[in-house]
Structure 1
Amino acid sequence: MQRPRLLQVFAAVALTCAALAASAAEPTTTLKDSGDAAHLFGYLPKPGMDAQFDAGYRKHLEWHRTHDDPLVWYGWYVTHGPRMGMFIDGTFGAPFAAFDNRVAPSDDGKDADRTFLPYGEPTYRAVYRVRRDLSAGTPLEQWRPTKLVQVYTYEVRLGRSERFEKIVKRMRAALDTAKHKSSFTWYEGVGGTASPGYMLMVSREGWSAFDEGPGGLEGVLASVEDTTVRQQLLDGFAGTVDEVQAEIWSYRSDMSLIPSN
């Protein structure tokens, strides 16, 4: 190989390596609605230590704030349902890769051990992927939480996911024509959930919003006016779902962190 040609090859390789290094060094985008990941964590305050737990968690949020954590962190208390009394925090709307590049995860854990974990037990951890194709709004991904949220978890029968999703799409079509339009957001379980498993989150600005219409999948399907279609949808629902749990979560703005950008 001639010397000029060899130098050109070396130069091309060097440029490629530099470009790859620069790409690897670029931080993962974590702006609102930049990804589909939803990470949820649950803690049960120890008996008689609710106030200490809350105060400790607020201190821990200060650690995230002072370390410029780009992730949003929401906090809720489960007020109705099987897990009543549990505190759930979660981050939504960032890419899954954002958890590979978290801010000082070791120090984060140490601060949690100092601030709120002495007063609460970790009891729940799950990862979901938002299903925009099934949803009628994504307020949490857009950093617009509401005062209340209805949360339904669906345990779907093996081999029935495709049929279940077809029914959910019919639900979305019914909502598109509804007079009152609430944000119904669907998530598909990735880990720590039933497999296959789905979660439906219905945003509610207050208790008056419950007067506007049903929240769960079955309730919306039961409101379809065409009798034949309604029965077909309900039969399909019964044939795909093994179990449903319904909860109401109350948003705690004082135990949440929404980045300024």
Structure 2
Amino acid sequence: MSENLSYLLKIKSSFKMENHKNRIAYSKENNDWSLLLYLKRQRRYLNKKALFLCTLLFAGFMYGQNATIGQFAIWKPKNGESENFEKGYKQHLNWHKVNKDQWGWYGWFFISGPRYGQFVDATFDHIWADFDTAVKPADDMADNKLNVFPFGDVQTIFKVENVPKASSIDTFALKTKLIKLVTLTVDNVEQSIRVSEKLKDYYVSRKIKFYKTYKVVDGGSVNQIILMLGFDSWNDYSLSENLHEKITEYQQMLKIKTISAVESETMIYRPDMSWFPNS
């Protein structure tokens, strides 16, 4: 960002000192007031343009670079209430739509692992301040109590931070049919991210739909890293069957041993239990 600002200021300074100064002096000497007026207007225009570009750069730095926070909520439908839970949750999503919520909400069910049958809702690409301005929190909770809580219990809510250097780019690719969710318990988060960077490069080279790395930052064990690998079919899913071996390989390559446990679960995407503004 500093390089871009310096470049803009350099252009502005150069134009003022070399072009405007000489041309305005020439205009005065020759009584060419129309040219003088034109040059003054051009200078004002360039000043405004430089300010606009600086504002865009600053906004991109403040918001684009920091929009890395996500939140997961895990629900367990009550015994015999799975169908009612789904209906109630869909009604609650409609509340978000009616109230013009600008957050996107993903919905998945676990179909393997210790949380089999539990539901996940998640939202991504936030800055921390977004959680200060969530849409009508009291009304949101009231609608949850009316439509969802009678049929399901919240197991946990936790927040994560995306690690861009260890993640592929397109968040909206999270809409793949299947997601392999891998929880790493680690002794050193930063060293473990180095391993995840290697994994990302490997799986991206294998044409995986997406690969995401998240650090748990609140609501859970902060010595855990969550990996999300996306697939459109079980045939594609087979690309991940050697994940544990690749983790071992890259730890040995990097001469580190920081990952103490690896747990794998699979989630299936439910577009009918997801909602996104402007879609």
TM bucket by the smaller chain?
0.7 to 0.9
> Quick check: 1:246 aligned with 2:264?
yes
Q: Distance in 2 between matches of 1:216 and 1:195?
A: 26
CA distance in 1, matches of 2:191, 2:278: 41
2:244 maps to which residue? Answer: 218
Point out the structure with max Rg over C-alpha.
2
- Structure with more helix by fraction: 2
Task: Say which of 168, 172, 175 aligns to 2:196.
Answer: 168
Distance (Å, rounded) in 2 between the aligned partners of 1:144 and 1:87: 16
Q: Which runs of 5+ in 2 are unaligned?
A: 1-62
Gaps of 5+ in 1: 1-30, 223-228
The 8 Å contact of residues 33 and 93 in structure 1, kept in 2 or not, is answered as no
**Which of 217, 230, 235 in structure 2 is aligned with 1:208?**
235
What do you get for the CA RMSD once the two structures are aligned?
2.4
**Equivalents in 2 of 1:144, 1:173: separation in Å?**
18
Aligned ranges 1:26-45 → 2 under 5 Å: 35-45=67-77
1:47-196, aligned counterparts within 5 Å? 47-139=79-171, 142=172, 145-157=175-187, 160-175=188-203, 178-196=205-223
1:117-146 CA-partner distances (Å, limit 9, x unpaired): 10111111110011101112342xx36511
- Structure 1: how far apart are the matches of 2:242 and 2:65? 24
SS of the equivalent of 1:171 reads: helix
Task: Map Cα deviations across residues 8-36 of structure 1 (whole Å, 9 max, x no partner).
Answer: xxxxxxxxxxxxxxxxxxxxxxx999811
Quote the Cα distance in structure 1 between the aligned partners of 2:65 and 2:119.
Answer: 24
Q: How many pairs are equivalent?
A: 217
1:206 deviates by 1.7
CA contact (8 A) 1:32 1:143 kept: no
> How far apart, in 2, do the equivalents of 1:183 and 1:104 lie?
33
Residue in structure 1 matched with residue 59 of structure 2 by the alignment: none
TM-score for the superposition, normalised by structure 2: 0.71
SS at match of 1:64: helix
Contact 2:185–2:262, Cα closer than 8 Å, also in 1 = yes
1:233 paired with 2:253, answer yes
